[in-house]
Amino acid sequence: MAAPATQLSGPAALSAFSRPARSLWGDAWHQFRRHRLAMAGLVSLIFLVVATLLGPYVWTVSTSEIDFTQSLLGPGFAHPFGTDDLGRDLLARAMSGGRVSIAVGVSAVLLAITLGTTIGSLAGYFGKLDNPLMRLTDVFLSLPVLPLLLVIIYLFKDTLRQLFGAEAGVFIMIVSVIGILNWMPVARLVRASFLSLKQKEFVEAARAIGDPDMRIIIKHILPNVLSPVLVAATIGVGNAILTESTLSFLGLGFPPDVPTWGRLLFDAQNYLDFAPHWALFPGLCIFVTVLSINFIGDGLRDALDPRKSS
């Protein structure tokens, strides 16, 4: 980006003003670091991810061991997050549930981004496909997402459970349904960028040297669409985690033996008067995760917006 300016100055001036060359992503990182809340979000998200991934190796208390003498204890030394009605340790459960919650969020967004980018780039690049694909997008955008999610999951849960087992079946189901019902904004975004980018000279040049369409789409246009998609993906992960926990909270998500954060809240809601800690900690986990992700998304948007970089 700054290449022409450095070429103008002589070698001496160059060494006087020199700073290490920065790539586009290096620039973005430089901008991102200046966004304090985004950095705070990044730190706390890394902490949460590491805690859910490595935590169970450090805090080796069982997630499923039932001990009625220890039931509904408040937070303390033996159980930092307290225990549930069966005396199970809530810290251990929150950590293993967090893995599932975060994994669902990331996988669902990967699916939505893949679908959305594919459909959006096809619609934006090939004029003939534009109208039918956008009609399809409009229909999907008019679907009532939450009610439909609830219905589909309730109806097909048992079939998938038989096919893939209790945990994997529900995982595949929730990820694919969230993914299939959330690709539309990405498709619209990608299509809009493709429509303007395919008129640009560099695409014309690529076509002139005989690049096939697929190569132009993947090698030349797609990299230019990456940054808005990345921002949408980041915020999408937060939303997918919220959706999963909403489903689990309504009792339509994972089975009771997979303690996702939403599921813990679902179980906790009947004990609010004796054991508020049971609801508090999983709720805080969801809140901190989603808040961090949203701040990161905000920081990324600022960092990757070319209008803002000075």
Instruction: Give yes or no for a contact between 153 and 252, defined as CB atoms under 8 angstroms apart.
Output: yes
Span from 7-15, 85-93, 126-134, 245-253 in contact with other proteins (CB under 8 A): 245-253
User: Which amino acid belongs to residue 237?
Assistant: V
Number of other residues whose CB lies within 10 A of the CB of residue 306: 9
The whole-angstrom separation of Cα 113 and Cα 105 is 12
Nearest CB to other proteins, comparing residues 103 and 152: 152
Binding to other proteins (CB under 8 A) within 104-163 occurs at: 138-139, 141-148, 150-152, 154-156, 158-159
* Size of the residue set binding other proteins (CB under 8 A): 45
For 98, 110, 162, the CA distances from 169, given in Å and listed in that order, are 18, 18, 8
**Dihedral over Cα of 174, 176, 179, 184: its sign:** negative
DSSP 101-147: HHHHHHHHHHHHHHHHHHHHHHHHH-HHHHHHHHHHHHHHHTS-HHH
Among 32, 171, 183, 249, binds other proteins (CB under 8 A): 249
Nearest CB to other proteins, comparing residues 223 and 251: 251
The whole-angstrom separation of Cα 171 and Cα 162 is 13
Binding to other proteins (CB under 8 A) within 185-244 occurs at: 238, 242
In which residue are the tokens 């159980």 written?
79
Exposure of 179 in the CB half-sphere (CA atoms within 13 A):
21
The whole-angstrom separation of Cα 229 and Cα 141 is 18
Nearest CB to other proteins, comparing residues 203 and 232: 232
The whole-angstrom separation of Cα 277 and Cα 90 is 9
Give strand pairing partners of 83: 89
Asked if 290 is part of the footprint of other proteins (rule: CB under 8 A), the reply reads yes
CB of 294 to other proteins, least distance (A): 5
Nearest CB to other proteins, comparing residues 24 and 291: 291
CB of 86 to other proteins, least distance (A): 20
CB of 290 to other proteins, least distance (A): 4
Nearest CB to other proteins, comparing residues 56 and 82: 82
CB of 276 to other proteins, least distance (A): 5
Nearest CB to other proteins, comparing residues 124 and 238: 238
Instruction: Give yes or no for a contact between 282 and 264, defined as CB atoms under 8 angstroms apart.
Output: yes
Among 75, 87, 255, 283, binds other proteins (CB under 8 A): 283
Measured at the CA of 65, the angle between CA 59 and CA 67, to 5 degrees, comes to 115
Nearest CB to other proteins, comparing residues 52 and 137: 137
Nearest CB to other proteins, comparing residues 76 and 144: 144
Among 90, 119, 295, 303, binds other proteins (CB under 8 A): 295
CB of 144 to other proteins, least distance (A): 3
The whole-angstrom separation of Cα 43 and Cα 48 is 9
Binding to other proteins (CB under 8 A) within 256-275 occurs at: 262, 265, 268-269, 272-273
CB of 269 to other proteins, least distance (A): 6
Binding to other proteins (CB under 8 A) within 6-65 occurs at: 37
Nearest to 237 by CA among 191, 280, 178: 178
The number of residues making up the chain comes to 310
Which residues bind to other proteins, rule: CB under 8 A?
37, 138-139, 141-148, 150-152, 154-156, 158-159, 238, 242, 245-246, 249-252, 262, 265, 268-269, 272-273, 276, 279-280, 283, 286-287, 290-291, 293-295, 298
